[in-house]
Structure 1
Amino acid sequence: MSETITILVATMGGTAEMVAETVAERIEDAGLSARILRMEKLKEPVTALGHGGRWVICSSTYGTGDVPDNGKALYTTLEDQRPDLSGLHYGVIALGDSIYPNTFCFGGKKFDALFSALGATRIGERLEHDARGADYPEDLATAWADTWLELVRDAG
């Protein structure tokens, strides 16, 4: 597997970007290439996402379960254009706060549901981090990334 793994980041306060940096380090430590891309900087047309590859979606949750502002345009475009993402394999890191139980980790959950509905295949379990928990998100992301990378390699 020689392609670059792209980590798409939707964040308001920067935590998701910090987590993405941790995941990128794990990917590179495994001998692979990684690029971090804030969602508002995605220049490829959304139809290009369906051409395959491995992606990680790292999203915080904002407001009442919303996708962060910098991810809204991508989310809306995917919803409206409904491209075929059947060639894409992805993982999800969702960040949230359990004080909001009805919308906990909804930013990541929404992207997960949308990518799946568009035909993409999730690899592994979704990581859900609770800001109220004792664990630092980057620590959980390190363990998640190691497991995810094993699954990616097994998938070929």
Structure 2
Amino acid sequence: MKLKILVGSMTHTAKHVAQAIQMECADLANPVEVEPMDGLDISVFDADKTEDVLYLICTSTYGAGDVPDNAQALYQSLDLQPRFLGHVRYGVIALGDSASHAQTFCFGGKHFDERLQDLGAQRIGEICCLDSSDGTLPETVGAEWCRQWLQAALPKSSAPCDAT
């Protein structure tokens, strides 16, 4: 099964998290594609593009709890061109800073999650919230979370490498 990571980022931290996942999780999903959200719209989730695809929204939060600039077109298209997305399976890694922005912590990812669920998409697992103020490396924490998430999300027979 393919893992497609859609990246929304202003300072490239979410992109670095996605790249770490791409390297660390290649044994669980094949291929692992990292795609910036620049210029994307809701058609990225069209049924003919989603067969055997698991999506991961990896996005930072910008300003007063907004999605990053490069994610605006995709996010807005979920409202402007709504359609049923029941065929879409996804997870969310949301980046934020709880010390500086406690009221809007990780809202970029939470906004995507809310809208995707409104359109019928199926979130797998809980949202992974990465906090830039907790002293951990987001790339390490994100990749560790994604390994566990993929192991739970993927059918046992779809993993490309079986260690047994």
Alpha-carbon distance between aligned partners in 2 of 1:11 and 1:106, rounded to the nearest angstrom? 13
Q: Determine if contact 2:39/2:74 at 8 Å carries over to the other structure.
A: no
| One-letter amino acid of the structure 2 residue matched with residue 49 of structure 1 | F
Q: Is 80-89 or 11-20 further displaced after alignment? A: 80-89
**How many pairs are equivalent?**
152
Instruction: Indicate if the aligned counterparts of 1:57 and 1:90 stay in contact, CA closer than 8 A.
Output: yes
Superposed displacement of residue 154, structure 1: 3.7
Deviation at 1:135, TM superposition (A): 1.1
Q: Any stretches of 5+ residues in structure 2 without a counterpart?
A: 159-164
Q: Which residue is equivalent to 1:58? A: 58
Instruction: Name the structure 1 match of 2:3.
Output: 5
Letter in structure 2 aligned against 1:105? C
Q: Give the share of equivalent positions with the same residue, in percent.
A: 40
SS at match of 2:62: coil
Contact 1:50 1:83 survives alignment (8 Å): no
Assess if the C-alpha contact under 8 Å between 2:28 and 2:151 holds in 1: no
1:125 match: 126
Using the size of structure 1 for normalisation, the TM-score is: 0.90
Q: Pick from 19, 34, 37 the counterpart of residue 35 of structure 2.
A: 37
Larger radius of gyration: 2
3-state secondary structure, aligned to 1:28: coil
Q: SS of the residue aligned with 2:25?
A: helix
Q: Report how far residue 26 of structure 1 moved.
A: 2.6
Tell which has more relative contact order, 1 or 2 (C-alpha 8 A, sep 6+): 2
Match runs of 1:71-150 below 5 Å: 71-98=71-98, 99-150=100-151
Residue 45 (structure 2) pairs with residue 49 (structure 1): yes
The normalised TM-score by structure 2 is 0.86
State the SS of the aligned residue for 1:141: helix
Aligned alpha-carbon RMSD (Å): 1.7
| Distance change (3 Å), C-alpha of 1:31 and 1:88 | closer
Structure 1 residue ranges without an equivalent (≥5): none
Q: Which has the higher helix share?
A: 1
Residue 48 of structure 1 deviates from its aligned partner by 5.1
Equivalent residues of 1:50, 1:86 under 8 A apart: no
1:42-86: CA deviations, max 9, x gaps?
3xx624514133100000000111100000011001111112110
Confirm whether residue 69 of structure 1 aligns to residue 69 of structure 2: yes
In structure 1, the residue matched to 2:162 is none
2:38 match: secondary structure: helix
